[in-house]
Amino acid sequence: SGAAWARGLLSWARPERWLASGSLFPLSCIHSSTALQKIGKWEKKNRIVYPPQLLGEPRRPAEIYHCRREIKYSKDKMWYLAKLIKGMSIDQALAQLEFSDKKGAKVIKEVLLEAQEMAVRKHNVEFKSNLHIAESQTGRGRYVKRLRCHGKGMFGMMRISRCHYFVKLVEGPPPPPEPPRTGFDQAKEYVQQLRNRTLVHTL
Amino acid sequence: VLVLVRSPLPRLRALLQRCWGRMERGLWPGLFGGQSPPWGPAVAVQGLALVPQGINDSGESSTEAPSLLESVVWMAAPKQRRTIEVNRCRRRHPSKLIEIKRNIDVCPECGNLKQKHVLCGYCYTKVKEETRLIRMEIYKKEGGPFNSPTVETVVLYEGEKPTEKDDSKRIIERARKRPSWFVQN
């Protein structure tokens, strides 16, 4: 009963917008000593609620944030896959990952399918193919040091590395790729920089 | 006859000394096929003068210490730590990035994705599963290894009768409807 009273008190003292929207059950945002230690920042990004749009404003595209933590893979190797699918449409990304030989490709494919399903069910996305990958990043997970035995009684310490994978899906077709910077563009920028020079600390 | 010997390493030097000593003392007569050695004792070759010198081991041991350092192989090692900028330039070079595959198509049978030069994965697993069940039926009929008959095999599904051509063949029956992709002859 004491815990329930404390929970009731805390839920009253924290008037967040999540409670107003009624999408989350109020007691679930208070964690006492459950296995879920900390909700990461990326997961919290899904919870922001914007004020309703005015009539004249262009429609704000839906954004879906999803991640997977502590994947047993190296963050550098995962980064190559994340770089591959950056900026692609979700169908193209799933096709590329399906035929990639890397271990992380299978994991990323699962994450993308989960995110797509979340988008359709919870985030009011009409067409599941109308999504593109705005951001895809990797992060370092918890490393563990272990002994690796060599011959002649020698040993070394090896690191068992884990990584996190973060993805942000945005509704709409993928943006057109930027044209590569030519020498002419660089020259124009240089000339502009020279023209922007002024006198400082003077009258 | 001038015999020039290059100044060898001490151990080789010692070996040469021993051979030369044996030759001089006549303990190695088989060297020239029974004939007398062509050079006489009066030939004092500049190169050879080095060889009979210092047969004692003390001379060798004093010269051995610096030669060990000379015979050590020097390994390559990095001089400076590579900065993260240099590391990034190497790791993110276009040749190291994964190329996007342009040979992915849609399978006309099942609609899944497939690579152009590879069989569709879904269709392949479907056929593999059916083949496994047919093989189980065959195993049940044969009852053990090495019992396969010498005639052909025909697979018949529900509601199919063996035709005249199938008289001489072994018939395997599967208790399901014929799949659309398994065409009957």
pLDDT at B18: 81
3-state secondary structure of A139: strand
Angle between helices B10-24 and B57-70 (to 10 degrees): 140
Residue B38 pLDDT exceeds 70: no
Residue-wise pLDDT for B11-23, tens only, equals: 777 887 887 787 7
**What's chain B's average pLDDT?**
81
β-pairing, A131-140 vs A163-171, is antiparallel
Show the domain range for B152. 113-173
Q: Which of B91, B97, B115 sits opposite A99 (nearest CB)?
A: B115
**What's chain A's average pLDDT?**
87
Domain A60-172 classified CATH 3.90.470.10? yes
What CA–CA distance (Å, rounded) separates B8 from B10? 6
Residue-wise pLDDT for A67-116, tens only, equals: 999 999 999 999 999 999 999 999 999 999 999 999 999 999 999 999 99
State the average pLDDT over residues B86-105. 96
Q: Which of A76, A95, A100 sits opposite B98 (nearest CB)?
A: A100
What CA–CA distance (Å, rounded) separates A162 from A82? 15
Q: What is the pLDDT confidence band of residue A26, given thresholds at 50, 70 and 90?
A: low
Tokens read off for A48: 């922001």
Residue-wise pLDDT for A165-186, tens only, equals: 999 999 999 999 999 999 999 9
DSSP string, B112-144: -EEETTS--HHHHHHHHHHHHHHHHHHHHHH-S
Residue B95 pLDDT exceeds 70: yes
Q: Could you tell me which residues come within 8 angstroms of residue B21 by beta carbon, excluding any fewer than 6 positions away?
A: B52, B55
Q: Is B90 on the interface with A (CB under 8 A)?
A: no
Q: What is the pLDDT confidence band of residue B166, given thresholds at 50, 70 and 90?
A: confident
**Per-domain residue ranges for chain A?**
60-172
β-pairing, A63-71 vs A163-171, is antiparallel
Tokens read off for A202: 């003077």
Min CA distance, B159 vs chain A (Å)? 40
What CA–CA distance (Å, rounded) separates B148 from B151? 9
> Which of B98, B112, B115, B119 would best serve as a mutation to test chain A binding (most A beta carbons within 10 A)?
B98
Residue-wise pLDDT for B96-141, tens only, equals: 999 999 999 999 999 999 999 999 999 999 999 999 999 999 999 9
Q: Could you tell me which residues come within 8 angstroms of residue A119 by beta carbon, excluding any fewer than 6 positions away?
A: A62, A64, A125, A128, A131, A169, A171
Tokens read off for A82: 């994340």
Min CA distance, B124 vs chain A (Å)? 16
Cβ distance A123 to A132 under 8 Å?
no
B147, part of any domain: yes
**Which of A113, A76, A73 shows the shortest CA–CA distance to A95?**
A113
pLDDT at B11: 76
> Which of A92, A96, A102 would best serve as a mutation to test chain B binding (most B beta carbons within 10 A)?
A96
**Which of B42, B62, B45 shows the shortest CA–CA distance to B16?**
B45
pLDDT at B172: 93
**Which of A51, A165, A162 shows the shortest CA–CA distance to A115?**
A165
pLDDT at A11: 53
B64, part of any domain: no
State the average pLDDT over residues A118-141. 95
Residues in chain B within 8 Å Cβ distance of A96: 100-101, 104
What CA–CA distance (Å, rounded) separates B155 from B165? 13
Q: Number of folded domains in chain B?
A: 1
β-pairing, B170-173 vs B153-156, is parallel
pLDDT at B89: 97
Residue-wise pLDDT for B40-69, tens only, equals: 555 554 545 455 554 555 544 445 555 666
pLDDT at A18: 46
B60, part of any domain: no
Q: Is B102 on the interface with A (CB under 8 A)?
A: no
Residue A13 pLDDT exceeds 70: no
pLDDT at A21: 45
Tokens read off for B173: 């029956």
Q: A130: how many CB neighbours lie within 10 A of its CB?
A: 17
3-state secondary structure of A99: coil
